[in-house]
Amino acid sequence: MNDQVRIDAAWRHHDFRALVIENRFLRLIVLPELGGKLWSLVYKPVDREIFWHNPRMAPRPAFYGAAYDDWFCGGWDELFPNDAPTTFAGDAYPDHGEWWAMPFAWEIATQRADEVTLRLWRAGIVTNTFVERWITVRAGEARVELRYRIRNDGPQPLDFLWKLHPALAISPHARIELPDCAVLPDPAFNERLDKQPFAWPHARSAQGEMVDMRVVPPVSAAACDFYYATDLAEGWCALTDEQAGYRFKLTFDPALFRSVWVFGAYGGWRGHYVAILEPCTGYPYRLEDAVTQGTASRLGAGEEIETTVAVSLAGERRD
């Protein structure tokens, strides 16, 4: 069996450059010109696309400052330094941050039979920052490693939210997994809950009934969930679909990514059916609110963050 890893930079997808990295377990497609988006992740043992793709909108060029939801085609984006659009410290921050609509420069940093590493980078638009990301796939591993470095080149400290944003394909057989944590529902969406804090995984419905938040409702539920998992016992989140035969697990440093936001659209937001597991350096989604309540993150002048995140895929079929 071919146990090598390879990269092909000659492809295009909806007129974007598409960088294809694969080994015998997975195939990853990166669109560097669209925010460095991780567009597709296929788990080959069960021939399963892990990421959700908007059935009504393919990837298309976005302009800086566009309304994110109207360009949300799926895959894995990254948000920095904010989520909701805002004017903060005298600067206008665009919807869902300044990275997702902008092109990233790229190079193949390592290309061997046992390892491929892709490096992407760009400077901020409003923020005086510089971000680098290394994506590594190794032979014989159902795993993608992402190493980051973010530097504040400005003369002042920078308050920020940095959030990973993988949109995941779901079914009624899927289950959302989190470590022991406290959960704060956001007042937005959450029509099916009583909107009170709870300990994972059991919340209460608006009618006072127990709700197991691990269970993914069917699209016919026409519901939405949006909540922040905080006080994480460990740094990971996952989605499992035993019928489809896989588990997606995202691991991270919980000292940096101190919360996991979960947005579940179960037919209730624009009719979509998707779960987004979002490790973030703070909460809630309005940066000014996070700063006020002391739950944002701060990068000092000249300081940098360096961290590694990993995605692992595994079989989970039960007969």
Q: Where are the domains of the chain?
A: 6-314
Q: pLDDT tens across 190-226, in order?
A: 888 999 999 999 999 999 999 999 999 999 999 999 9
Start-to-end CA span in the chain (Å): 26
Q: pLDDT tens across 216-234, in order?
A: 999 999 999 999 999 999 9
Determine the pLDDT at residue 196: 95
Residues 107, 287: Cα–Cα separation, whole Å: 33
* CB 251, CB 265: distance < 8 Å: no
Determine the pLDDT at residue 319: 42
Residues 226, 122: Cα–Cα separation, whole Å: 30
Q: pLDDT tens across 123-157, in order?
A: 999 999 999 999 999 999 999 999 999 999 999 99
Q: What percent of the chain has pLDDT over 70?
A: 98
Determine the pLDDT at residue 1: 54
The correct CATH number of 6-314 out of 3.30.565.10, 2.70.98.10, 3.40.50.11540, 3.40.50.1010 is: 2.70.98.10
Q: pLDDT tens across 13-69, in order?
A: 999 999 999 999 999 999 999 999 999 999 999 999 999 999 999 999 999 999 999
What mean pLDDT value characterizes the chain? 96
> Residue 316 pLDDT > 70, yes or no?
no
Q: pLDDT tens across 162-180, in order?
A: 999 999 999 999 999 999 9
Q: pLDDT tens across 90-133, in order?
A: 999 999 999 999 999 999 999 999 999 999 999 999 999 999 99
Residues 259, 280: Cα–Cα separation, whole Å: 5
- Give the number of other CB atoms < 10 A from CB of residue 162: 24
For the segment 287-293, the average pLDDT, to the nearest whole number, is 97
For the segment 259-266, the average pLDDT, to the nearest whole number, is 98
305's enclosing H/E stretch is strand 304-314
pLDDT band at 236; cut points 50, 70, 90 = very high
